[in-house]
C-alpha cells in the first residue's frame, strides 16, 4: 500500500502503523514533491491520503484512474467534490474510495450517538477544538456531525434550535452548518476534540470525544485499508464499515 502526505502529522503516524502491521506492506510513501505515478510503479493496491484540502480531490481522481483503492482522511470535501468522485467511480467498476472525516472509533460513535439523540432535544450546538496548526475550520468531523444531526432532526420534524440573538459580533455565534451552530476553538496543546451539546428545559446532555494522540485514528485507518478492496464505489464515513451507518 501507499501513503500520500507521508511526512505530515497523520501521514507519518500512518507509515508507522502500516510498518507495524504484519499483514500490510508499505511500498510507497509520497510527500508534496513526489509524482503520484510512484504509487502504481510500486504496485500499491490501496493508497491512504492525509494531505491537504487543496490537493486531495485531484489525488483521488488520479488513483481511481490508476485502479488504486483510496482511503481518504483529508478534509475539505463537499457535496460537489464527492459527486465528482462518485461519477468517476461509475466508469471504474471494482475500485473503492472511502472518504472519512474521522477514523477514531470514539469520534464515529460520538456522531452516531449525537444523531440518535438529536430529535429529543430542543437545542443542539457543536464545539470542535483542535491544535492551532489545522488549516480548515470547522473540522470535517464537526461538519459531518452537523449534517447527521440536522438530517435526524428534519426526519423527525424537529424545528431548528431556538435563538433570540438580534445583535452579535461576526462569528460570535459560530458557523451555521445545515441549521446547526458549529464553534471552532484553536489552542496550543490540543489535538482533536469535539463536544455535542444538547439542551432541553432543565437538562443538558454533552457527548464529548477526545483524541489525545494521533494513534487513536490508526485502528480505523487500517480497518479501511483492509476493507476497501472489497467495497467498490464511494463510501462516506467510517460508520459504514463499523455497521453504524
Ligand X SMILES: NC(=O)C1=CN([C@@H]2O[C@H](COP(=O)(O)OP(=O)(O)OC[C@H]3O[C@@H](n4cnc5c(N)ncnc54)[C@H](OP(=O)(O)O)[C@@H]3O)[C@@H](O)[C@H]2O)C=CC1
Q: Which of 69, 130, 144, 183 is catalytic?
A: 130
Residue closer to ligand X (CB basis): 74 or 161: 74
Annotate 36-77 with DSSP letters as a single string. Answer: THHHHHTT-SEEEE-S-HHHHHHHHHHHHHTT-EEEE-----
Beta bridge partners of residue 71, listed in sequence order: 48, 98
User: How does strand 28-30 pair with strand 2-4?
Assistant: parallel
CA distance 81 to 98: 13
Q: Which is nearer to ligand X, 129 or 198 (CB)?
A: 129
Binding of ligand LZUJQKHR by 14 (CB under 6 A): no
| Member of 5, 96, 140, 237 binding ligand LZUJQKHR (CB under 6 A) | 140
Q: What is the closest distance, in whole angstroms, from the C-beta atom of residue 155 to ligand X in the complex?
A: 26
Q: Closest CB to ligand LZUJQKHR among 174 and 232?
A: 174
CA distance 238 to 220: 7
Site for ligand LZUJQKHR in 165-224 (CB under 6 A): 192
145 binds ligand LZUJQKHR (CB under 6 A): no
Q: Is 130 a catalytic residue?
A: yes
Cβ contact 214:13 at 8 Å: yes
Active site residues: 130, 134
Amino acid at each position: 500500500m501507499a501513503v500520500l502526505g507521508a511526512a505530515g502529522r497523520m501521514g507519518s503516524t500512518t507509515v508507522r502503523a502500516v510498518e507495524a502491521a504484519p499483514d500490510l506492506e508499505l511500498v510507497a510513501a509520497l510527500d508534496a514533491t513526489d509524482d503520484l505515478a510512484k504509487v502504481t510503479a510500486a504496485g500499491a493496491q490501496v493508497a491512504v491520503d492525509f494531505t491537504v484540502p487543496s490537493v486531495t480531490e485531484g489525488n483521488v481522481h488520479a488513483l481511481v484512474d490508476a485502479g488504486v483503492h483510496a482511503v481518504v482522511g483529508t478534509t475539505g470535501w463537499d457535496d460537489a467534490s464527492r459527486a465528482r468522485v462518485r461519477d468517476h467511480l461509475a466508469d471504474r467498476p471494482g475500485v473503492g474510495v472511502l472518504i472519512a472525516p474521522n477514523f477514531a472509533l470514539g469520534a464515529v460513535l460520538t456522531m452516531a450517538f449525537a444523531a440518535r439523540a438529536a430529535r429529543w432535544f430542543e437545542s443542539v450546538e457543536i464545539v470542535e477544538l483542535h491544535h492551532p496548526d489545522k488549516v480548515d475550520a470547522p473540522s470535517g468531523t464537526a461538519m459531518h456531525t452537523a449534517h447527521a444531526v440536522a438530517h435526524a432532526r428534519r426526519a423527525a420534524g424537529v424545528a431548528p434550535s431556538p435563538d433570540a440573538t438580534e445583535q452579535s459580533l461576526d462569528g460570535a455565534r459560530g458557523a451555521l452548518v445545515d441549521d446547526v451552530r458549529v464553534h471552532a476553538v484553536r489552542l496550543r496543546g490540543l489535538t482533536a476534540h469535539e463536544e455535542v451539546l444538547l439542551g432541553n428545559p432543565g437538562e443538558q446532555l454533552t457527548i464529548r470525544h477526545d483524541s489525545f494522540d494521533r494513534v487513536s485514528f490508526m485502528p480505523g485507518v487500517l480497518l479501511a485499508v483492509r476493507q476497501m478492496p472489497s467495497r467498490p464505489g464511494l463510501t462516506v464515513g467510517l460508520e459504514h464499515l463499523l455497521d453504524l451507518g
